[in-house]
Amino acid sequence: MSFDPVVTFGTIAAAALIGLGVGNAIDGTSPRSRVPVAAAELVTLTAGSYEHPQPGEFLKDNRPIPAPVAKETIDAPLEIMKFQVTASDYDRCVSDSACKPADSRIVGDVPVTGVSFLDAQAYANWLSEKTGETWRLPTDVEWAYVAAERFRADIEAGEGDPADPARRWLALYRNEAALGRKADPEPRPPGAFGANTKGVADIAGNVWEWTSTCYAHVTMSSDGARIANSVSNCGVHVVEGFHRTYMSNFIRDGKSGGCAVGTPPDNLGFRLVHDSGGFLQATFRRLGLT
């Protein structure tokens, strides 16, 4: 499978608006329609398959175990933003009263930080409405595929011992410390962490990214070969970055809590997937009109 990316530009033109009329542009009667939408540079990845450690907490015989690995398939070309959504991009949504202001005071051409899953979802909905196209957060499977060699799953510590749970937690922290991650709180301009082999920039930099995948609590069969029970908690979502972790939907600052294990993320931000077919077509399908 080839990892050579095809870099394209989104069909969003800088100043493309939904419902913009000459009269409104002149007299300002529709502030919502006057907010410009910036062009988004996309990377298009070809379809393919890969082996992926599954997200969530896995138990066997009431003991934590390492996540099983499953073959995942991306069955169609995948378009994703080359760079993370910037503070200036996000501020357009805020100016349009569709997003809450980010907690971070940093503005301009740097990744937006201080945003929750709910904020990222609001931005995706706003951008879809503004452009007439479909924008959404990537799934954990999609993000890992995009991240390629920069993907790192959960920090693992082998099977746990119910009689001594602290032992496993200490092992988790030791394993993370061995990776040599250092605190790096200041967001940097797009491209500062370079591009990976698929041409996507700043993967696993100091801005961790929200995904649309819910946290799962999974019980495996005694032989570990199949899932006996799985419970999803969509009040918590997968966050990807230096390694995979989990955050409550409302968390804007990873250091305030919600991290499954280890040192919390320096920053929380996001990038979006662009779906072919368009926002209106997707809406029609949901309504059963196509």
Q: Where are the beta strands (DSSP E) in the chain?
A: 6-9, 41-45, 48-53, 57-60, 63-65, 69-74, 78-81, 134-136, 208-220, 227-240, 245-248, 268-269, 273-275
Which pLDDT tens digit goes with each residue over 33-74? 345 565 689 999 999 999 999 999 898 888 888 899 999 999
Query: What SS3 class is residue 49?
Result: strand
pLDDT classification of 97: cutoffs 50, 70, 90: very high
pLDDT at 12: 36
How do 208-220 and 268-269 pair as beta strands? parallel
How do 57-60 and 6-9 pair as beta strands? unpaired
98-107 long-range contacts (CB < 8 A, ≥24 apart) are: 98/122, 98/123, 98/125, 98/126, 98/129, 99/123, 99/126, 102/252, 103/252, 103/253, 104/187, 104/267, 106/187
Residue from 105, 74, 78 nearest 90 by CA = 105
pLDDT at 154: 83
pLDDT at 143: 98
Percent of the chain clearing pLDDT 90 (strictly above): 56
pTM of the model: 0.79
For residue 50 the two structure tokens come to 């890969």
The CATH classification of domain 6-286, taken from the options 3.20.20, 3.90.1580, 3.40.50, 3.30.565: 3.90.1580
Going from N- to C-terminal start, the domains of the chain cover 6-286
